[in-house]
Structure 1
Amino acid sequence: MHDTGTAPQSAPASGHDRAPAKDPGQAQDAGSAQEGQGKHARSFGLPIASCLVLGNIIGGGIFLLPASVAPYGTISLVAFGVLTLGAIALALVFGRLAERDPRTGGPYVYARGAFGDFAGFLAAWSYWITSWVSNAALAVAAVGYLDVLIPVNEHKWTACLAALVLQLLPALANFAGTRYVGAVQLVATVLKFLPLLLVAVGGLFFFDSANLGPFHASDDSPVGAVSASAAILLFSYLGVESAAVSAGDVRDPRRNVGRATILGTLGAALVYLLGTLAVFGTVAHDKLVGSTAPFSDAVNVMFGGSWGGTAVALAALVSILGALNGWTLLSAQTPYAAAQDGLFPSAFGRKKRGVPTVGVLVTVVLASLLTVYNYAAGSGGVFESLVLITTFTATVPYLLATVAQIYFLVSGQRERVHRGRLVRDAVLAGAAFGFSMWLVAGSGYAAVYQGVLFLFVGVLVYAVMAARKQRTATVSNG
């Protein structure tokens, strides 16, 4: 994630109008090499890029996942396995796309390159909505874990203040520059990954098959049980695109984006699968179904005492702060790329210390306002509805990116397609498309309906930005 500081340049009205380049993205890479760079701006190597993916995939939800899927029995592990394969296919597609076009923006860049400005804008707009609403949700969730360590939920405005501070801290790291964003991400990922891996691996030594309960515990058919548990688990892998979105800030992106995406996704899959299996085998099934802190219960079984709740709350808090740090940067990266092409306000296209500071600031302000509204309303209903909508808006860029890859493969564009990998890439793109459609279906009717309304608001914004861009081009040519 090392964005540059060159002034935004006007781009063709459509990705189709662009003459094919030997090296897609070369112009932006060259122009951005010096943008916003300094001692506080630094490109990310493979380790930090992998941590960005891993840290953004794993938030706080993992600490409740085993209890959430326990009612379906251990058949839910089958759903986990299927979802992991889908997520890996999507990760591989992003890696291939980034190898051919290693610019900041990820799905935005790929969708615009295939289908023009409008598709690119929809990818950027939907991803941007997802990021700042999710940041508010992460901060509110973090307060719940913080309350275990420090009582902050006794008064709603104390809790609100805590949520705002938890959003501000990662924002300050972003304002300080990519050097600090990378450092925070690395430390947070290590601090979250090690205790989770400890429970996942340590739990295998305390594993008792008698705790597993039935393989198929629900009244649904086996296929229905897999689908139902998958609906809960579907969004556990959101974030696989993190390295691709920040490709412009990754050192040697053609090589490292794909590797970081795979390493981060596999790391998350390892924690998810082993962690869930370990909890299933250490906590009795009847107790796990009603548990509100399954990892805490597992820690208490493994090591005795009652300190598991505190330990898990601390791990969850670190995990969410790491996710906030990464998502805050991502929330500014896609608008930055769109602003470079005149599809977002130009202010989003400026950087300091390698970070699109205006994008970070707008994200913090919008997420903070949503957080305050959540506490002022005194009910999670509206807030939870918004969060559900983001589960749909997050999948729009995935669908557009995978369809763009299919378009490149079918059209046979030489600069986009590797002939020797054509069949393999086609299979992966098809699997990634199916996974993305599954994500959309798992969002639910209400989320899809309301999410489409959010996209239609974006259409109005696009109309204004496209008109301004056209008027500027006309004046320049006149």
Structure 2
Amino acid sequence: MHVTGTVPPSAPAPQEIPAAPAHPAGTTGAPGRHARRFGLPVATALVMGNIIGGGIFLLPASVAPYGTISLLAFGVLTVGAIALALVFGRLAERDPRTGGPYVYAREAFGDFAGFLAAWAYWITTWVSNAALAVAAVGYLDVLIPVNDHRWTACLAALVLQWLPALANFAGTRYVGAVQLVSTVLKFAPLLLVAVGGLFFFDPDNLGPFHAAGGSAIGAVSASAAILLFSYLGVESAAVSAGEVENPRRTVGRATVIGTTGAALVYLLGTLSVFGTVAHDRLVDSTAPFSDAVDAMFGGAWGGWAVALAALVSMTGCLNGWTLLSAQTPYAAAKDGLFPAAFARRRRGVPTVGVGVTVVLASLLTVYNYTSGTAKVFEVLVLVTTFTATVPYLLATAAQLFHLASGRRDRVDRARLVRDAVIASIAVGFSLWLVAGAGHVAVYQGVLFLFAGVPVYAVMAARRQRTKVPADGR
């Protein structure tokens, strides 16, 4: 288990570690009335809220064709996600600055690796925000008919993106408040099914253990490919470390608690739905949690209740991801690897980063609705599953680098072995994410990634020009 407050094996002796600045570069000494540092509850809510979006409401039906063997995939993935969470906690102890994977990759491997982590993560956030808003419209339509006309649905998706952006513009105080409230509100109905469903559990509803036939390992891998992306967001507290109180201690705790809590909700929720909805019905269900509520309590109000819960869940997820979308470019801009405008902050929030991100996401949303097809959009969404693994792999590689390069005479060898095993599991989890994205998404993702190389060239040249005197000497 993660032990906070201790020095990583690869770090210098305690007396040699420089004190972390009270505030990261670009912040003021006093947070102010609208900027407030996140404590453990809000940091944990940020992690859980960003991991659990709207996908959980469809997951049981998505994996039902494989049978209850898919629960084994949940277990394997949970181990990988918690290992990644522990790695981020260790790295945050070492360097508790805003930026997360970008900071870790740049410190270990230099500017170019740091830029790739920042660029890939930035792409992931704004494309995912557009996808999340479009998906949220489907749940909103259950409450208020908006899908009758394409432009009405498009307008609703834009509103769902801009409301969280406005909360971010108002300051970190309001971002934290929205995140905490939305996390509590969405967990109420989820826990109702996850825990309450156990009292209505009927083993006859489970269906076969291995429903798909063929190899059992193949079935676990196939269902895992669907579930893999449900854990994206474990890095949320690390990315916002500069806004967290006592980040060396809090980030690790929030990351592990948030990831473990999300995993329990996923696992219990899926198990409860499996046990309350007959397997043959669940396979074809488009609203498995609604069907579970209807089976538990009767009536037909489950669809409305779950739609409301999903809408709250996605709005809170958008709120958290909007903040994260600006944090990594902010950290890179402070180092001269992103345009300087991204380093501007107001009320604790990098407002230019938030603004650019929401504009790009809005343009992508409009394009999705005007194109008349979801195929292009679906490919872009899959691309984000690949781009998210780039900073994950670089961060875990940075941890391995620190472990391998540490002073052996100052290392607790038992802890070194433990951390090395955890980092290796996290690397395997990240590579599994790449495999689960599929070759088409990886191909498209590489193009998105390489599109940042010219940007890096320009920014690196500007940095070099500012360092070289006018006479060239």
Q: TM-score, normalised by structure 1?
A: 0.93
Query: Are the equivalent residues in 1 in contact too, given 2:26–2:343 (CA < 8 A)?
Result: no
Q: What's the offset of the Cα at 1:30?
A: 5.8
Distance 2:29 2:381 in 1: 34
Gap change, CA 1:185 and 1:418, over 3 Å in 2: farther
Q: What are the within-5 Å matches in structure 2 for residues 293-312 of structure 1?
A: 293-312=287-306
2:53 corresponds to 1:59? yes
Query: Are the equivalent residues in 1 in contact too, given 2:133–2:158 (CA < 8 A)?
Result: yes
Tell me the equivalent position of 1:141: 135
Query: Are the equivalent residues in 2 in contact too, given 1:36–1:354 (CA < 8 A)?
Result: no
Tell me the equivalent position of 2:107: 113
Tell me the equivalent position of 1:389: 383
2:119 corresponds to 1:125? yes
2:80 corresponds to 1:77? no
Amino acid at match of 2:149: H
Distance 2:123 2:42 in 1: 25
Distance 1:42 1:420 in 2: 38
Q: What's the offset of the Cα at 1:34?
A: 1.5
Tell me the equivalent position of 1:11: none
Distance 1:417 1:140 in 2: 50
Q: What's the offset of the Cα at 1:32?
A: 4.7
Tell me the equivalent position of 1:345: 339
Query: Are the equivalent residues in 1 in contact too, given 2:89–2:252 (CA < 8 A)?
Result: yes
Gap change, CA 1:145 and 1:418, over 3 Å in 2: farther
2:195 corresponds to 1:205? no
Distance 2:29 2:123 in 1: 26
Q: What's the offset of the Cα at 1:29?
A: 3.7
2:277 corresponds to 1:283? yes
Distance 1:444 1:124 in 2: 23
Gaps of 5+ in 1: 1-20
Query: Are the equivalent residues in 2 in contact too, given 1:139–1:166 (CA < 8 A)?
Result: yes
Amino acid at match of 1:158: T
2:255 corresponds to 1:261? yes
Amino acid at match of 2:351: T
Gaps of 5+ in 2: 1-14
Q: What's the offset of the Cα at 1:198?
A: 1.1
Distance 1:324 1:417 in 2: 42
Q: What are the within-5 Å matches in structure 2 for residues 45-444 of structure 1?
A: 45-412=39-406, 421-444=415-438
Q: What's the offset of the Cα at 1:144?
A: 0.2
Q: What's the offset of the Cα at 1:194?
A: 1.6
Gap change, CA 1:382 and 1:115, over 3 Å in 2: same
Query: Are the equivalent residues in 1 in contact too, given 2:27–2:348 (CA < 8 A)?
Result: no
Query: Are the equivalent residues in 2 in contact too, given 1:99–1:258 (CA < 8 A)?
Result: yes
CA offsets 1:45-86 (integer angstroms, 9 cap, x no match): 000000000000000000000000000000000000000000
After TM superposition, the runs of 4+ consecutive aligned structure 1 residues lying more than 2 A away are: 21-33, 416-420, 475-478
Q: What's the offset of the Cα at 1:35?
A: 6.1
Gap change, CA 1:291 and 1:157, over 3 Å in 2: same
Amino acid at match of 1:453: L
Distance 1:173 1:413 in 2: 46
Distance 1:123 1:205 in 2: 45
Tell me the equivalent position of 1:474: 468
Distance 1:269 1:417 in 2: 32
Amino acid at match of 1:455: L
Q: TM-score, normalised by structure 2?
A: 0.94
Gap change, CA 1:25 and 1:216, over 3 Å in 2: farther
Distance 2:163 2:431 in 1: 35
Distance 2:381 2:243 in 1: 28
Amino acid at match of 2:287: A
Distance 2:318 2:150 in 1: 22
CA offsets 1:220-268 (integer angstroms, 9 cap, x no match): 3100000000000000000000000000100000000000001100110
Tell me the equivalent position of 2:442: 448
Query: Are the equivalent residues in 2 in contact too, given 1:36–1:352 (CA < 8 A)?
Result: no
Distance 2:92 2:148 in 1: 47
Q: What's the offset of the Cα at 1:402?
A: 0.3
CA offsets 1:5-58 (integer angstroms, 9 cap, x no match): xxxxxxxxxxxxxxxx94468358464551683200000000000000000000
Partner-residue secondary structure (3-state), 1:26: coil
Gap change, CA 1:98 and 1:380, over 3 Å in 2: same
Q: What's the offset of the Cα at 1:347?
A: 0.5
Q: What's the offset of the Cα at 1:421?
A: 1.7
